[in-house]
């Protein structure tokens, strides 16, 4: 064996894989994953001395054994291999790392019955992982030809659309339709700089990145509007419509959407609708009303960072520094720190991924 392969074998053996198994490292790790050593198998994959080589090995051999046994056994083998690939993908953040592994799993499951519960769970989880990965481009920090300092370079277009694949197989799944809208929104949900005057769209150069962003924002709004007819999706659709309206300098219209979203029984949506209402009211120069919305948000999710900081700033500016300091001190004393919905907002179904993996793993045991 070459030095590279020997080094790979050494890592696998150190992680509990036998010499015999190490001759097919991808297959050995899939077997280990199927046995319940989830994190250990994923970490062994990620710590391989040549990650790229092992990925190719996985792509070649992940399906081995899937053509033997009963149809049910073959389905299960494919789901196990696809779940292992998806679990690895979930540890990454950039589309160029996530997409190939998600698509590998998708190809493995092409032959699976869509009525299979494990296959259904895999697709729900994979769409959440796929849409959670995002690249907002790069900020120019050095002078260069045609790229002014401080300008943004848009990311390359993603090579695959896994949400479209999932929708073809499960056209009635409501959150897949929401995910399709979120993919468009992610390219348009950045806020214009606060230290620059708003330039009306009708006088904006149509070739500028900001003009193109506003076009995509309108496209995303149209997609979310179409989803409002679904009672299950309506609150989140309204929440995301409101935020896109906010980025288009339409805070009054945004507030109307947030008001509808605030009636949700999902604390995640309730919190964000109240918090983002406060931001819209601040933009409208209504700090007293904004302060009340921040207080409302903190009754839904106490001590959460985003609303705490916003409320503290409002209190400080309104001449109540002692209350502002006390509020921040109380939030900082929370152990563990509460999860902040605002940190999840730009990443679609990120909040569901841990529970999704629990359900998926339970199904493939």
Average pLDDT over residues 216-236: 97
The answer to whether residue 146 sits within a structural domain is no
Q: Which domain holds residue 167?
A: 76-137+158-177+351-365
Residue 275, CA distances (Å) to 18, 186, 201, 295 in order:
53, 20, 27, 9
One domain for residues 301 and 359: no
Domain count, the chain: 3
One domain for residues 167 and 239: no
The answer to whether residue 153 sits within a structural domain is no
One domain for residues 167 and 220: no
pLDDT band at 27 (very low <50, low <70, confident <90, very high): confident
pLDDT of residue 11 exceeding 50: no
One domain for residues 200 and 307: yes
Top mean-pLDDT range of 71-80, 89-98, 141-150:
89-98
Select the more confidently predicted residue: 63 or 248.
248
Average pLDDT over residues 80-88: 92
Boundary of a domain, candidates 30, 61, 92? 61
One domain for residues 210 and 249: yes
One domain for residues 6 and 54: yes
The answer to whether residue 147 sits within a structural domain is no
The answer to whether residue 258 sits within a structural domain is yes
Q: What angle is formed at CA 143 by the lines to CA 139 and CA 146, rounded to 5 degrees? A: 85
pLDDT band at 22 (very low <50, low <70, confident <90, very high): very low
Nearest-angstrom CA–CA distance, 31 and 186: 37
The answer to whether residue 142 sits within a structural domain is no
One domain for residues 55 and 84: no
The answer to whether residue 259 sits within a structural domain is yes
- In three-state form (DSSP H/G/I as H, E/B as E, the rest C), the secondary structure along 325-365 is HHHHHHHHCCCCCCCCHHHHHCCCCHHHHHHHHHHHHHHHC
One domain for residues 97 and 234: no
One domain for residues 332 and 212: yes
Q: What is the pLDDT of residue 55?
A: 66
The torsion angles phi and psi of 152, rounded to 5 degrees, stand at -110, 130
Lowest mean pLDDT across 13-22, 82-91, 199-208, 315-324: 13-22
341-347's contacts with Cβ under 8 Å and 24+ in sequence apart are 341/267, 341/268, 341/271, 341/272, 341/275, 341/301, 341/304, 341/306, 342/272, 342/275, 342/304, 342/305, 342/306, 343/305, 343/306, 344/268, 345/243, 345/272, 346/134, 346/186, 346/189, 347/131, 347/132, 347/134
Cβ-based burial of 303 (10 A; exposed 0-12, middle 13-18, buried ≥19): middle
One domain for residues 195 and 243: yes
The answer to whether residue 3 sits within a structural domain is yes
The answer to whether residue 305 sits within a structural domain is yes
Residue 331, CA distances (Å) to 183, 301, 312 in order:
33, 11, 11
Nearest-angstrom CA–CA distance, 59 and 30: 12
For 123-170, what is each residue's pLDDT tens digit? 999 999 999 999 877 777 666 666 776 666 777 788 899 999 999 999
Select the more confidently predicted residue: 59 or 159.
159
Helices 38-46, 71-89: inter-axial angle, 10-degree rounding: 60
One domain for residues 105 and 191: no
One domain for residues 313 and 293: yes
């Amino acid at each position: 064996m070459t030095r590279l392969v020997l080094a790979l074998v050494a890592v696998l053996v150190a992680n509990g894989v036998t010499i015999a198994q190490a001759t097919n490292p991808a297959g050995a790790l899939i077997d280990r994953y199927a046995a319940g050593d989830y994190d250990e198998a994923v970490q062994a994959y990620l710590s391989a001395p040549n990650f790229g080589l092992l990925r190719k090995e996985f792509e070649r051999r992940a399906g081995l054994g899937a053509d033997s046994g009963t149809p049910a056994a073959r389905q299960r083998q494919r789901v196990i291999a696809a779940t292992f690939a998806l679990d690895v993908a979930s540890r990454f953040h950039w589309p160029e790392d996530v997409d190939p592994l998600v698509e590998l799993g998708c190809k493995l499951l092409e032959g699976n019955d869509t009525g299979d519960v494990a296959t259904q769970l895999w697709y729900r989880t994979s769409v959440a992982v796929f849409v959670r990965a995002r690249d907002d481009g790069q900020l120019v920090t050095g002078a260069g030809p045609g790229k002014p300092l401080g300008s943004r370079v848009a990311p390359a277009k993603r090579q695959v659309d896994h949400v479209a694949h999932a929708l073809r197989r499960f056209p009635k799944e409501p959150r897949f339709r929401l995910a399709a809208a979120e993919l468009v929104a992610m390219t348009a949900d950045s806020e214009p700089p606060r230290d620059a005057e708003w330039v009306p769209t009708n006088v904006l150069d149509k070739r500028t990145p900001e003009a193109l962003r506003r076009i995509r924002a309108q496209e995303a709004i149209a997609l979310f509007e179409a989803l409002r007819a679904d009672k299950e999706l309506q609150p989140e659709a309204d929440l995301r419509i409101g935020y896109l309206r906010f980025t288009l300098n339409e805070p009054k219209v945004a507030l109307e959407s947030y008001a509808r979203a605030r009636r949700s029984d999902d604390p995640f949506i309730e919190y964000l609708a109240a918090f983002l209402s406060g931001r819209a009211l601040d933009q409208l120069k209504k700090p007293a009303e904004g302060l009340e919305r921040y207080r409302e948000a903190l009754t839904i999710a106490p001590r959460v960072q985003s609303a705490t900081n916003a409320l503290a700033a409002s209190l400080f500016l309104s001449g109540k520094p002692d209350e502002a300091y006390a509020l921040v001190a109380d939030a900082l004393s929370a152990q563990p720190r509460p999860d902040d919905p605002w940190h999840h907002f730009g990443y679609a179904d990120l909040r569901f991924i841990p529970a999704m993996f629990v359900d998926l793993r339970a199904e493939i045991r």
